[in-house]
A and B are shown apart, each in its own frame.
Chain A
Amino acid sequence: MCQCCSEKKDIYLPQLATVVKADDMNVTEKYLQLTMDDGQFDYAPGQFVEVSVAGIGEAPITITSSPTQSGGFELVIRKIGNVTNAVHTLTPGDKLGIRGPLGDGQYPVEEAKGKNLVFICGGIGLVPQRSFINYVLDNRSDYGEVVILQGTKCYDQRLFTDEIAEWEKRDDVQMLETLDEPDDRWNGNVGVVTTLISKITTELKSAVALICGPPIMYKFVLMALEEHEVSHESIFLNLERKMKCGVGKCGHCQINDVYCCMDGPVFRYSDLATMPEAI
């Protein structure tokens, strides 16, 4: 009967993707490389997808690869709920449903050009940040100095260790890593990620800061950045919510008047001033 609806696409319908590569990064994190079966997939750093396992459900996962890289896109998924547990059983060749890329709140790819960047990551927070980090490194001359701070709870939970080692070797990146609970295998910094902030050689005041980590981390990092007088307009945070539908309808991810799935998941700190529920 209704023609207009048959011409419009179903916003809830996942498209099929094929698992190209699946690796266990540690006990809880799985790395997946995927390609869309219809070939179409253009995304920006900071965007997420709804990962769909038929019979189990959907979960929102931020893309960890950079659009500058070829060969599909990458996700790192922590085993923590029904969908993510199911994802951990996937092997190359398996099919997965994907909706997206979603989220208009992305990393400030254009705005940050020419500026110094400080990435502050807590644990699995490195995963979304990695998309923009690699984007910046692939367009290195467009950006100023690059600082990456990574704080992880323990040695076994460290992610992308080979890539971190590569970043450490580079002259044009200041890579600092710390562990909360180190063991004999670790000779580096000890403590939470904020303890690294005083070690930054780049001038912080004029830098763009990008933060992603567990909710508790944000308050301490923001306090530290406040001490260095980083403007709230230059701080970007990745927020997590129950982004069930991903398209601004279901209501679950609402933070005051804003839908995390539509206006986020990356937010400018100054925009959160009117959103008391944000942090």
Chain B
Amino acid sequence: MSVKKLTKDDFAKFVEALIAKENVIGVQAKGDRFDYAPLEAAADLRLDYDVTLQPPKKFFLPPRETLMTFEIGGAYTSEHDDETFVLLGVHPYDMIAINQMDELFQQDNYDTHYMKRRNNATIIACDVMTPSANVFASSMKTAVVKSGYDVLLTDIGDDYVAEAGTEKGEALLAGVAEADAAALESRQAVWAKNEKSLNKHELECDAHYLPKLLDRAYDHAVWEEIAKTCFSCGSCNQVCPTCYCFNVQDDVNWDLKTGQRDRAWDGCLLDGFTKVAGDHEFRNQRADRFRHRLYRKAKYVPAKIGGQIACVGCGRCVGACLPDIANPISVYNRLIDDLGIG
């Protein structure tokens, strides 16, 4: 795949041209923070952002979506979103989260609802220029991304290096000049810097060791201790780019003859997540739910996706947690301190 270079002025023109023909969703300022929103002008795009309020998962797995419609006593009909869109400004850690979700929604049973949106998306990723207050992507080895994107942008000062990751990306960059050796060198410097500097919370072991650490930590006192102040609010689930648990609910229309079946985000920290009819709740203790989330991130989900750790170090949960207990690094480091890395 080719690696191109374009000046920031030319990039603005590139974005304007993209907006003219596609539905472009780009990172923009929202108050003094940043988030994804429909992009109306290249000037609104903020590729210097630190972290978005919400991860980009909502564009593939919306907070609420209709899976099917039905007639009471009659047939069920699948509903799928079938619009193409461009997601502009995805950071490497979020791109890696999307790559993981792609694998999870395709494996065993192919989820057409997620995958249709994913296949209809064009993703233009960009390297981090401003580290956020809680990012720890360097620790999780997610500061730099090598696949999944259609185009990857790297800000090297006056220019952007733009690498095509797919044929779709290649087509988008047609006509753009090749990057020279100096530009590639500058990009390499950005990568080398990010691999070290996106590390506001430092994991005291290699991230790939975490599943083994958790093998020995199930009955550790830390779960009970920390979860004492957990509100079971699910904020950590909501802002997590790799949390994808959902609930399914039916809604009947006013005619009482037709309706729809929706799926909506759910969270394993919420009370009632495992409750069955008859009110038996399998994970009814806060500590059990708190432990489950961190085991999913660093043991259960990794086992399903070839060992990749399912925490990408975006740091959103650290900022979202009211009692300030969600930081996975504090918990993992505490376990390393107590149990060693044996």
Which residues of A are in contact with B by a Cβ distance under 8 Å?
A: 1-2, 4-5, 8-14, 16, 52, 54-59, 80-82, 84, 94-95, 97, 215, 240-242, 244-245, 247-252, 254-257, 262, 276-277
Contacts and interface: CB of A to CB of B under 8 A. Distances in A.
B80 A241 contact: no
B68 A10 contact: yes
Given A12-B68, A256-B295, A58 B248 contact: yes
B274 interface: yes
Contact of A81 (B244, B245, B277): B277
24 contacts: A1-B84, A2-B119, A8-B115, A11-B111, A13-B67, A54-B70, A54-B259, A55-B252, A56-B250, A57-B261, A81-B276, A81-B278, A94-B73, A95-B74, A240-B276, A241-B282, A244-B247, A244-B248, A249-B105, A250-B266, A252-B266, A252-B274, A256-B300, A257-B299
Contact of B259 (A5, A16, A55, A245): A55
B188 interface: no
B303 A5 contact: no
Given A8-B112, A95-B73, A244-B248, A13 B68 contact: yes
Contacts of A262: 108
Nearest to B70: A54
A2 B274 contact: no
Contacts of A2: 82, 115-116, 119-120
Interface string B55-72: 000000000000110111
Given A59-B277, A252-B273, 14 more contacts: A10-B67, A11-B110, A11-B112, A13-B68, A16-B75, A54-B259, A57-B248, A81-B276, A242-B274, A244-B247, A248-B108, A250-B248, A251-B246, A277-B283
A57 B78 contact: no
Interface string B244-287: 11111110100000010101001010000111111010110000
- Which 6 pairs of residues, A with B, have the shortest CB-CB distance? A81-B277, A251-B245, A2-B119, A247-B109, A257-B300, A5-B116
A54 B120 contact: no
Interface string B1-27: 000000000000000000000000000
Given A1-B82, A1-B84, A257 B303 contact: yes
Given A2-B82, A5-B119, A256-B300, A10 B112 contact: yes
A241 B276 contact: yes
Interface in B105-159: 105, 108-113, 115-116, 119-120
A248 B109 contact: yes
A215 B278 CA distance: 13
B256 to A, nearest CB: 8
Q: How large is the interface on B (under 10, 10 to 19, 20 to 34, 35 or more residues)?
A: 35 or more
A95 B275 CA distance: 28
Interface of B: 67-68, 70-76, 78, 80, 82, 84, 104-105, 108-113, 115-116, 119-120, 218, 244-250, 252, 259, 261, 263, 266, 268, 273-278, 280, 282-283, 288, 292, 295-296, 299-300, 303
Contacts of B283: 277
Contacts of B246: 245, 249-251
B68 A251 contact: no
Nearest to A244: B248
A82 to B, nearest CB: 8
Given A11-B109, A12-B113, A241 B120 contact: no
Contacts of B71: 54
Contacts of A55: 70, 72, 250, 252, 259
Contacts of B116: 1-2, 5
Contacts of B72: 54-55
B71 to A, nearest CB: 7
A167 B142 CA distance: 62
B72, B78, B282: which has the most chain A beta carbons within 10 Å?
Answer: B282
Contacts of A247: 108-109
B76 A52 contact: yes
A260 B300 CA distance: 14
A8 B261 CA distance: 19
Contact of A13 (B74, B78, B278): B78
B218 A252 contact: no
A80 B277 contact: yes
Contacts of A256: 295, 300
B218 A276 contact: yes
A13 B66 CA distance: 12
A213 B116 CA distance: 41
